[in-house]
Amino acid sequence: MTFLKTDTTTKTDLRQHGTGTGSVRTQQPKYVDFLPPCNHACPAGEDIQSWLALAQAGDNYEAWEKLTEQNPLPAVHGRVCYHPCESSCNRTSIDSPVSIHSIERFLGDLAIEQGWKFPKPKESTGKRVLVIGGGPSGLSAAYHLARIGHEVSVFEAGPVAGGMMNFGIPAYRLPRKILHDEIRRIEELGVTFKLNRKVTDVIAEKNDGNFDCVFIAIGAHIGKKTEIPARDAGKILDAVSFLKDVELGNFPKIGRRVAIYGGGNTAMDAARTAKRLGAEEALIIYRRDREHMPAHDFEADEALSEGVKIHWLRTIKNLDSTSITVEQMEIRDGRPYPTGQFETLEADSVILALGQDTETDFLKGIEGIEFKTDGTVVVDQNMMTGHAGIFAGGDMVPSERTVTIATGHGKKAARNIDAWLRQTTYQKAPNNPLVTSEQLHVWYRTEAEAKPQPHIDAEVAVAGFDEIVAGYTESEARYEAERCLSCGNCFECDGCFGACPEDAIIKLGPGKRYKFNFNLCTGCGVCYEQCPCHAIEMVAEPEAVNS
């Protein structure tokens, strides 16, 4: 065993003799891949960094293809997702996060405009799957199962597919043409939709249709109630039914002054919808303060900008024909407590926005299926209920209720259903380590703030249900994509190649990255220091042995 000695061997000698500098180094560089925080935070499991890189290069079709490998509804999600990916974006430590949802919307809209289609499976598996519920979770599961080659039928109780996306999200946030165009693309993939088909007996439907398994994804369509003493009970509506009636064109009579009881996103939507129906005053009453409201902050800001009023720290005690009595609350240890102080507010009607429940009673006769105390269905890590072959997801299972989480459930269920049908077990590949902003060496980027999407004026917005936010142009989408730092993964910036003092880095060609020539590398670490995205790690030098 022979070791090279630093006191007698020069770099020139090493180059001439080609014996390398392995034992001279105490560390050596290694190309690595980390998990970017945007990917990690996405409930739908999108490979955000990859499709952003393609959009950055102007390869929009390829970006859309990469995006829709995980999520079939980019134009929808670009509008309604609350983009936790952006909250996690490392760019926040520099200026502002990449506006990922805006680029996703651009790609989704472009796909609709260009008529891009999903590739059909090359062959059929011969297996048949019944999906009950045509909301985001059911659509996602149907899409992923169909791409694998399974025959999928979606039974939807409503007159159109889309679930709560269609009946719970107002058109000013999600234009119906956009939603229906993206659903139509799933249908063109080969998924069969049966509308106005409410399922009351799952086992009978499974057997009668000769289905191999079932995925149940019924949305939370039932508004929660509360007891409010009222002389005229007809003055009380629930927000879910209210929004659905408006969507169907059955505009309820709400009067000139409307009180909305609740502090979530649905309360904001109900108040803004009431303004669009002509209410002179839409007043949100919520028992906590703004800091503790469940609604997203921007939802409250937009509601306020449209003239909605919000009374924090109030709870309704009584409802009269033209007024309501509310009690003031105070926050102690994060919880609201009554103060015994009351006030009277004018209101012609009250809309309850206190949350939603899912209808699960029709499952209670099925052997093996268990329920939580809130009525949601218990599933295992594979999204399967206690009855073999019956899976569930979305609003039906214990989880936060958003479109994107439901979409992720559908994808996860599809992968586990496919494995179950093949009598195997789905094993998710382990994630790479998460890369943080502290690990980046962003020497080449100057501050470049995100470009906001244009909003129509509030005065114009409340006049109808036209979309209130405009999308990016192609140049704007590309600019925004270029703000991505490619955290933790090499994007071939040539920083290491140009910085190496020993010419020890070899370019392998576009898309193939680089490799190290360890006969020349001295382990100085300059490449590591110059890599802006932390795609190089310095690791301990392995013992060099010459035999």
Report which of 165, 189, 188 is spatially closest to residue 177, judged by C-alpha positions. Answer: 165
Note the pLDDT tens digit of each residue in 159-201. 999 999 999 999 999 999 999 999 999 999 999 999 999 999 9
Region of poorest pLDDT, from 38-52, 349-363, 439-453? 439-453
Question: May I ask the CATH architecture of the domain 128-221+358-421?
Answer: 3-Layer(bba) Sandwich (3.50)
517 pLDDT more than 70: yes
* Assigned fold of 11-33+490-540: Alpha-Beta Plaits (3.30.70)
pLDDT of residue 207: 96
Q: Is 44's pLDDT higher than 70?
A: yes
Contact between 54 and 63 under an 8 Å Cβ cutoff? The reply is yes
What pLDDT digit, counting tens, does each position of 394-447 carry?
999 988 889 999 999 999 999 999 999 999 999 998 999 999 999 998 876 667
**Residue 477: its H or E element:** helix 474-481
Whether 138 contacts 44, CB under 8 Å: no
Burial annotation 3-24 (CB, 10 A radius, 16+ → b, else e) = ebeeeeeeeeebeeeebbbbbb
Q: How far is CA 218 from CA 154, 180, 199, 295, 385, in A?
A: 11, 18, 10, 23, 14
The structural architecture, per CATH, of the domain 223-355 is 3-Layer(bba) Sandwich (3.50)
pLDDT for the residue numbered 446: 64
How far apart are alpha carbons 505 and 297 in whole angstroms?
48
Position 333 pLDDT exceeds 90: no
Please, what is the average pLDDT of the chain?
91
CATH of region 41-116+441-472: 1.10.1060.10
The domain ranges of the chain are 11-33+490-540, 41-116+441-472, 128-221+358-421, 223-355
> pTM of the predicted model, to two decimals?
0.91
Q: For residue 374, what pLDDT is reported? A: 86
Over range 206-225, report the average pLDDT.
92
- Taking residues 257-280, report their average pLDDT: 96
Return the SS3 of 496: helix
Fold matches, 11-33+490-540 and 223-355: no
Least confident of 45-49, 228-232, 346-350: 228-232
The β-bridge partners of 192 are: 153
What are 295-315's pLDDT values in tens digits? 999 999 999 999 999 999 999
User: With the CA atoms of 12, 18, 19 and 22 taken in that order, what torsion angle do they form, in degrees rounded to the nearest 10?
Assistant: 70
- Max intra-chain CA distance, the chain: 99
349-352 and 236-238 beta bridge pairing: parallel
Q: Is the pLDDT of residue 263 over 50?
A: yes
